[in-house]
Structure 1
């Protein structure tokens, strides 16, 4: 059999070259056969090209509903959506107003959401929105012009049935549900064309105190969460309601559609906001203040005695970043502790805030091992990755020579700078700096494997070391994940002797998740909203890492007191003790004694209860709701310690119903008795989109794994495949000609 060989020549350097005349004759022959070269290419490549294009069409089909309409087709204040059939719809619009009253450490907040139907059809609007993770939502009403329908707290399934019955009957109704402690959904049914419906919520939250400064945070939008796992069936209740989320359920996040609201394709601005927000705040701190500021918004501040009032300088702002209000007491007036009380239904409730005495950093510290974990997933794109790199870079500068350290970066996978922690030598720090400078955002947010790796590395300890190092994990991320409960369980199981400190990054981080992760990891949480905050924030964090915590804290409560949390946590430098208590029908006569240990020193202090029981009622309304909210939070945390789900529900449901609080098992529903929509009028359901977090790069929301570059990877891979097939066909023609 004659063998086919390549027609080759050898040049003067001894390297083979293609016999060009032979190739030319081959191409010419095929050109004669198919009349021209283009026909030859079509004949050889068209079938493969058609298969690739068909595959791309199928892969892209699910993305249709997240595509934006051309900017020129959208008027000011108007949003257009494209459905699965390519039909363009005008969406419902939403604007909000916040009225906040702060007394001492307790903030009572009224949130007003105004929904307007810009379409010519009767509509149902679905709006997912964030609230502070510790907020206790305790009131809801729906306003229709001058009419007010006060919402009722009901068991979640019962509330859904009431809402769905009203929806089908043509009655106006509203339903508010909790999806996560910091993520809620409002539904408004049977909104007439051109009509506005107002949903008003009231919630209570506590001001946070850290490093000598009080603050309250108002989240306004949601960073798209990554949904790990294999796409599967949604965990459905008996009553199914459309969610309009871009994500599909997975085996790890069954409720993914409910926590993945659509967002505006283009970023808004404070001048022309997609979702306008107005803010009015009254602050009565109860002490002289050195400063009051809002770091991310321009505000107008007025003062009358100790009462401060604040509103936005421009009157409104885009809901694309957290609103934060800070106030710092005059140094001589900084509180060592405070007691706030409230009487509800004949019973007293109390809130204790106490700052342990400060201790100077000791001359010598035990050996320390720091593991820096940095999120480089797609949701960190834009400003966030720059903040994360700057935070990590500043952390490296703060390491001591006797420290050991390692860096783990993660997205769809993770990689370590070193196989195991290394000494903080100048050479290793130089390697770490180079590693940090080349970090970029892409891929998914597979947090479970990297968390497991960071907390498990403590098993790799040198057996010759007599004193094992104090192990501290610093986790830098925006927290944009949907499998929070699985991550909490992993922390509880693997934390051991390590400590987990979380650093929230970006304009709209998942603060609830990161604060709870730090609680389970016996560490602390801090956040960075702008790059200018990096130096001060990371320096304060390292101060906490380097200063002994306050340990063995004990409070002499009355015998009848019910205190939450039941286990008093260790406290780091600049952090307060924060406990909520139910006292019974009378306030104690004796002062409250608090004691503990800081370093090698014992300390003790006392706090007086209000002298008159009447003093408890007016000033600090909301303490009872905060106590019930904290009890529910602590009970729900038991699920990570093998608590039976039904038993857990039976404990939480009565508390939520008695205190009128939203929870995983309760919802608010308001229904107007009169029928509004004519029987022959159709009803459509539409999402009310959120604003994109400020500074974040655009995300491909229509894909289940949100923070990925899946679309680009598909197109690039297909192009490379097409080129490879084309080259292979050309080579075969050359071989067999």
Structure 2
């Protein structure tokens, strides 16, 4: 049927005082310092209060906030949150200019910036600085993400609101302010390359050794996606230690007054252990089926990924698949043994999954999964796929941490605007690994990398010991290491108290057990402080300590929580790093006249990741626009009536655009077609479907088969040759299922050769 059409007159706020955002990034090895300058101008005839809710990386340490009005600069202080809010309100009521920056109480990757009492014709420049660690990707690249997209977070009924002010999201084409972005990269090792999901100007090296380089966004960048940089160094897997001197004005014995060391460890595991793949485990897959997963056919990509995962599981393991939206479903009442029958039943259900379950409530299915008893000798591995539009982030992460002893959690953030706090928090507290899939990224290679991690033997009995000169003591600021993976970095922050000679050295030893083999890695380091590091390491260490204390406070809420909260505020104020219990406050207490007149609030919109079904017919200004809205076939009448009858504002476009619709069915690519035909045991069957997926006729395939080779062996050999011959560039995706096929071949051929028989596997009941 033809789509339903109607024209809607859309009224939008007439003024957006935020005019431009300028971002300067400095990367030193694997640490990033980001300086954002937000330029405001009031072109109205009344004084304004501008409120901007925007995303930041979830593990960022916000460490500086200042405002410049004319020639006057006001540097903000960190204060207890309620005290800061009251000071801000008092300033506005008395006609003073004030600026407030605070973190969401539910998710540490959302901040609210309030710019108060901006008089008519006045301009203000806001400077925001934060530092963050760069995560290592599966291909050894270091990932930096500048979040530009903030999708509204789904708030389950009965929970607290994430922020006091609403998130105002608009399609990227309507964001009325510009973004400029430049980066400087430096490292002890040469910079191999810098890649991005956005168009970049060519990389410019600053020295012959190629250890310093600059890069910036190409002209004409649209505010339609998160800006992602992947930075590659030569010989990146080198353990390092950076000792940073304390702040001269701070008291010795305090976090900011003492030196702090940042250890980057890359454990190398014995090759003999790493070449083996676990043949057991309970694999639980949790798939987001909220309406927003219908964008860019995310749900279709997730279905294809589940196909690869199910084909790659080892015989003898157990599995189950959950999906969730406003409610949740599971394919089996409890995890079942992996077999041809259970695999086929699961795949049939997966094929019918759409983005049709409404909101994003992940807590209930997680609680159900954790309520299921673990299967003896089958370590539980949880894979979570979500676009991260969750309002109760901290509650979800706390639940995963509470159950961290029973499983490992591997998380995948899908699409623009996925919450970094949620995705990284799930993996960190669940002892697993986090991946982000944005833009045109294929989901499958990253997910299969995590499956290889999950099939690695779990590292247990992890301990860290320090050997320091006499007179020097150590206070570890990081939580205990709970997971180690081959080639993946582990970070430790520690405070060093006491005096030592400049030539003194320390040593840290990480001991652990892997598949029953005791192992250890050591790193010797100089205690002499590095130069020109500022207080970056201290601020990252403070943020790490604050996050640990906040998690402890949430777990102990209702019993002695005030002591932990007091400690968080103390560390936050001392270090100048944001926390959930503090805020940055700046007040212009100059001699200028008080701002006169009633204050008008303007919520500054941020970019949302909306599908392009909004078609502009005429747009004369930002204040008024005509749109044609096209409903996809199958959109229910209730959704249409709700839209027509609502008092539309631009921040509510998301409610319509996120309505779950069935994704278009596209022809399956040849690789997935071949993979779909593989049996749970690892073999293929010689039939017309296999021949077609290989691009041959049944006669061509069968005529070349040797009489002494059984049909399944021949079919499996053909499939493996096709994979190696035509899809070697996608080897990361099919490597595990190919290993299973080779193992099957070896078993059948070896047995028949030994006994001189030609018995097929189905005869044996396998």
TM-score tier by shorter-chain length is 0.7 to 0.9
Structure 1 residues 381 and 195, CA, compared in 2 at 3 Å: closer, same or farther? farther
- Name the residue aligned to 1:575: 488
- Name the residue aligned to 2:437: 528
Following superposition, the deviation at residue 584 of structure 1 comes to: 2.0
1:292 matched to 2:197: no
1:142 matched to 2:67: yes
Following superposition, the deviation at residue 531 of structure 1 comes to: 4.7
Q: Say if 2:19 and 2:177, in contact at 8 Å, map to a contact too.
A: yes
- Name the residue aligned to 2:542: 628
1:190 matched to 2:117: yes
1:565 matched to 2:478: yes
Task: Pick the aligned partner of 2:15 from 82, 90, 93.
Answer: 90
The whole-number CA distance in structure 2 between the counterparts of 1:337 and 1:348 is 20
The whole-number CA distance in structure 2 between the counterparts of 1:444 and 1:710 is 17
The whole-number CA distance in structure 1 between the counterparts of 2:63 and 2:448 is 38
SS in 2 for 1:435: helix
Task: Pick the aligned partner of 1:281 from 173, 183, 189.
Answer: 183
- Name the residue aligned to 2:236: 334
Following superposition, the deviation at residue 581 of structure 1 comes to: 0.8
Q: Say if 1:382 and 1:695, in contact at 8 Å, map to a contact too.
A: yes
The whole-number CA distance in structure 2 between the counterparts of 1:486 and 1:111 is 30
Following superposition, the deviation at residue 182 of structure 1 comes to: 1.1
Following superposition, the deviation at residue 204 of structure 1 comes to: 1.1
Structure 1 residues 480 and 631, CA, compared in 2 at 3 Å: closer, same or farther? same
The whole-number CA distance in structure 2 between the counterparts of 1:359 and 1:315 is 49
Larger Rg belongs to: 1
Structure 1 residues 308 and 364, CA, compared in 2 at 3 Å: closer, same or farther? closer
SS in 2 for 1:663: coil
Q: Say if 1:507 and 1:695, in contact at 8 Å, map to a contact too.
A: no
Task: Pick the aligned partner of 1:357 from 260, 268, 282.
Answer: 268
Task: Pick the aligned partner of 1:551 from 452, 460, 471.
Answer: 460
- Structure 1 stretch displaced more, 544-553 or 422-431: 422-431
For 1:256-405, list aligned pairs within 5 A. Answer: 256-258=163-165, 260-264=166-170, 266-268=171-173, 273-304=175-206, 305-314=210-219, 316-318=221-223, 320-330=224-234, 333-345=235-247, 347-360=258-271, 361-363=274-276, 365-383=278-296, 384-405=298-319
Cα offsets for 1:629-685 (capped at 9, x unmatched): 111111111134325321121111111111111112221111222466766522111
SS in 2 for 1:203: strand
The whole-number CA distance in structure 2 between the counterparts of 1:364 and 1:107 is 36
1:439 matched to 2:328: no
Task: Pick the aligned partner of 1:115 from 20, 28, 40.
Answer: 40
Following superposition, the deviation at residue 283 of structure 1 comes to: 0.4
Structure 1 residues 634 and 424, CA, compared in 2 at 3 Å: closer, same or farther? same
For 1:122-141, list aligned pairs within 5 A. Answer: 122-141=47-66
Structure 1 residues 584 and 316, CA, compared in 2 at 3 Å: closer, same or farther? farther
Structure 1 residues 435 and 297, CA, compared in 2 at 3 Å: closer, same or farther? farther
The whole-number CA distance in structure 1 between the counterparts of 2:473 and 2:66 is 36
Structure 1 residues 718 and 348, CA, compared in 2 at 3 Å: closer, same or farther? closer
Following superposition, the deviation at residue 436 of structure 1 comes to: 2.5
TM-score (norm 2): 0.72
The whole-number CA distance in structure 1 between the counterparts of 2:643 and 2:190 is 65
TM-score (norm 1): 0.75
The whole-number CA distance in structure 2 between the counterparts of 1:134 and 1:165 is 31
- Name the residue aligned to 1:207: 134
The whole-number CA distance in structure 2 between the counterparts of 1:620 and 1:680 is 42
SS in 2 for 1:335: coil
Q: Say if 2:278 and 2:457, in contact at 8 Å, map to a contact too.
A: no
Q: Say if 1:177 and 1:667, in contact at 8 Å, map to a contact too.
A: yes
Structure 1 residues 586 and 335, CA, compared in 2 at 3 Å: closer, same or farther? farther
Cα offsets for 1:412-458 (capped at 9, x unmatched): 11111222323443444343333223222231222221111222233
The whole-number CA distance in structure 1 between the counterparts of 2:124 and 2:544 is 32
The whole-number CA distance in structure 2 between the counterparts of 1:509 and 1:412 is 18
1:476 matched to 2:385: yes
- Name the residue aligned to 1:429: 343
The whole-number CA distance in structure 1 between the counterparts of 2:327 and 2:394 is 20
Q: Say if 2:411 and 2:435, in contact at 8 Å, map to a contact too.
A: yes
- Structure 1 stretch displaced more, 672-681 or 157-166: 672-681
Q: Say if 1:110 and 1:203, in contact at 8 Å, map to a contact too.
A: yes
The whole-number CA distance in structure 2 between the counterparts of 1:316 and 1:675 is 41
Following superposition, the deviation at residue 411 of structure 1 comes to: 1.0
Task: Pick the aligned partner of 2:406 from 469, 476, 497.
Answer: 497
The whole-number CA distance in structure 1 between the counterparts of 2:426 and 2:290 is 19
Following superposition, the deviation at residue 129 of structure 1 comes to: 1.0
SS in 2 for 1:110: strand
1:517 matched to 2:426: yes
Alignment RMSD (CA, Å): 2.9
The whole-number CA distance in structure 2 between the counterparts of 1:604 and 1:697 is 56
Structure 1 residues 293 and 190, CA, compared in 2 at 3 Å: closer, same or farther? same
The whole-number CA distance in structure 1 between the counterparts of 2:292 and 2:110 is 18
The whole-number CA distance in structure 1 between the counterparts of 2:111 and 2:484 is 31
Following superposition, the deviation at residue 213 of structure 1 comes to: 2.5
1:221 matched to 2:137: no
Structure 1 residues 711 and 377, CA, compared in 2 at 3 Å: closer, same or farther? same
For 1:638-657, list aligned pairs within 5 A. Answer: 638-642=552-556, 644-657=560-573
- Name the residue aligned to 2:656: none
- Name the residue aligned to 1:175: 100
Following superposition, the deviation at residue 555 of structure 1 comes to: 2.7
Structure 1 residues 688 and 481, CA, compared in 2 at 3 Å: closer, same or farther? same
The whole-number CA distance in structure 2 between the counterparts of 1:339 and 1:531 is 36
- Name the residue aligned to 2:332: 418
Following superposition, the deviation at residue 354 of structure 1 comes to: 0.7
- Structure 1 stretch displaced more, 375-384 or 120-129: 375-384
The whole-number CA distance in structure 1 between the counterparts of 2:164 and 2:145 is 26
Following superposition, the deviation at residue 618 of structure 1 comes to: 1.3
Structure 1 residues 169 and 390, CA, compared in 2 at 3 Å: closer, same or farther? farther
